Structure 1
Amino acid sequence: MSTNKIAVAGATGRLGRHVVDVLTEQGHQVVPMSRATGVDVITGAGLDEALTGVDAIVDVASWHASDQEAAAEFFRTATRNLHEAGRRAGVGRIVAASIIGADKATGGFIAAQQVHEETHLSGPLPARLLRAAQFHEFVEQLLDWRQGDCAYVPNLPTQLVAARTVAEELIALAADALTRHPSGTPIPEIAGPRRETMPEAAALLGARRGVKVVGVDDPDMPDAALAAAGAFLPSPHAKLAGPEFHEWLDGQG
């Protein structure tokens, strides 16, 4: 397999750590980009130096709050900076992670992904996107929303996927000779193989931690009705890949 020099924006994040690991295992030359490595995708500091000689960028930088306007501004600024610095450095392509259902969302963090996607697809670098389901790791966050020994988890359908599985698919896109998303074709999606509800998954983890899980309806959540109707579940063209949540949990020790 041919190897490339690939820069990873958001290299220290939940998904970025897996992208760096898989790239390293596959023998690629990795350029981790984060504020910890002296690269800031918002100010642009360090980008030109980091992207020198890079073949492709994997963009998994993310905003960690739910406010739609703030998230949209983060994605707009970071994406433009990556494209402009990448163009100056002669980078061949950029691949970015998004969320399944981003095109249907009307509010909140998922709706902000529309700005992320549009800015990538209209930028000067050839771009490809991958929409992913919620990660297995997201379930742990849900258990933090608890009162005492009881966690209240939204009654929503899901098809959780491992972050490492998403990382592997992003890298396959980055290494693909097809550098630009084909016109008229759906944006690829990746999700886990099993459909379940968030409370069902959370209960498996809760049982290990002594936390009781109660499923609740949350009408104040952005696009709650859309989510309940399955708008953020994978489309028929999605790639489904394991491990399932319970298998992943068993592997965590």
Structure 2
Amino acid sequence: MKIAVAGGTGAVGSLVVEEARARGHEAVALARSAGVDLTTGRGLDTALEGVAVVVDTSSVQTQSAKASTEFFTTATRMLHHAELQAGVGHHLALSIVGADRAPHDYYAGKRAQELLVAEGPVPWTLLRATQFHEFAPQMLARLGFGPLALAPTMRTQPIAAREVAEHLVTLAEQGPSGEVAPLAGPREENLARMMRAHDRAAGRRRAVLEIALPGPFGRALRDGTILTGPDAVLGRQSFDEWLAERAPGR
């Protein structure tokens, strides 16, 4: 089966490409580095020739609800148009747990994407996943200032990006399934603790200061709104196991 991965050079998309190829599928990355632009549609028609399923793992670096919504609605519409032209029979989108309950900031764009996928012209599957273990080092890079790093107060149940990629390929193989059970890590974590643990494992001793973000999105991060319910599929690898796997000498 030929699988096209939107955002195929990103943290999850690159792993989807790798996993699909390991299972014997032909996988192509839809990314600017491969001559494809999701916001203009450039290169999409050629890239989707012979494709059976598009897996959308694309993302945008913003916390603005307006910018996020503009990106995800534009990208989804461009993909749908090209999929119809190419005869693609399955659109599989990766979203975030809580996007439907806390459609604020970045999550506003993900919710807009979800609605377009469900109402769109191409048979679809929607998977919501929690944050990845890789979220901790990403936040350290964004919110680290010399000897100090800031950590939004956040309850999360992170999962290894590789397990998300494996699940996405399985869903691609199964065909259109609508909204499927969400995917989460094996246990709840606190983001500040994750950031401190990652910093220590990297040999740094920065002070990680936990701050409560204002507004409805900050409240959703704190009160468990973005956590999964009892219907979630749970991953295998905990954050501490993931971190130990990356320790020097391993």
TM over 0.5, yes or no? yes
Counterpart for residue 245 of structure 2: 251
Q: Deviations over 1:200-227 (max 9, x none)?
A: 1111111123133434232336511122
Q: Deviations over 1:168-193 (max 9, x none)?
A: 1111111104x141xxxx64211110
Counterpart for residue 165 of structure 1: 163
C-alpha distance in 1 between matches for 2:180 and 2:148: 38
Partners of 1:153 and 1:213 within 8 A in 2: no
Aligned partner of 2:240: which letter? H
Counterpart for residue 186 of structure 2: 193
Select which of 216, 220, 233 maps to 1:239: 233
Aligned pairs for 1:6-45 within 5 A? 6-45=3-42
Counterpart for residue 108 of structure 2: 111
Partners of 2:103 and 2:111 within 8 A in 1: no
SS at match of 1:58: strand
Counterpart for residue 154 of structure 1: 152
C-alpha distance in 2 between matches for 1:27 and 1:235: 34
After superposing the two structures, state which structure 1 stretch, 210-219 or 46-55, moved more.
210-219
Q: Deviations over 1:5-34 (max 9, x none)?
A: 101111111111111111111110011111
Counterpart for residue 59 of structure 1: 56
Q: Deviations over 1:62-104 (max 9, x none)?
A: 1111111111011011101111111111111010100000011
Count of matched residue positions in the alignment of Structure 1 and Structure 2 = 245
Aligned partner of 1:197: which letter? N
Counterpart for residue 196 of structure 2: 203
Structure 1 residue 146, shift from structure 2 partner: 2.4
Aligned pairs for 1:91-130 within 5 A? 91-130=88-127
Select which of 187, 208, 228 maps to 2:222: 228
SS at match of 1:223: helix
C-alpha distance in 2 between matches for 1:213 and 1:97: 34
Partners of 1:189 and 1:239 within 8 A in 2: yes
Q: CA RMSD in A?
A: 1.4
Counterpart for residue 210 of structure 2: 216
Partners of 2:71 and 2:109 within 8 A in 1: no
C-alpha distance in 2 between matches for 1:57 and 1:106: 24
- In structure 1, the gaps of 5 or more residues are none
Partners of 1:108 and 1:222 within 8 A in 2: no
SS at match of 1:98: strand
Partners of 2:83 and 2:122 within 8 A in 1: yes
Given the two structures, how large is their TM-score scaled by the length of structure 2? 0.93
SS at match of 2:15: helix
Aligned partner of 2:228: which letter? P
Aligned partner of 1:53: which letter? G
After superposing the two structures, state which structure 1 stretch, 146-155 or 167-176, moved more.
146-155
- In structure 2, the gaps of 5 or more residues are none
Partners of 2:150 and 2:209 within 8 A in 1: yes
Aligned partner of 2:60: which letter? W
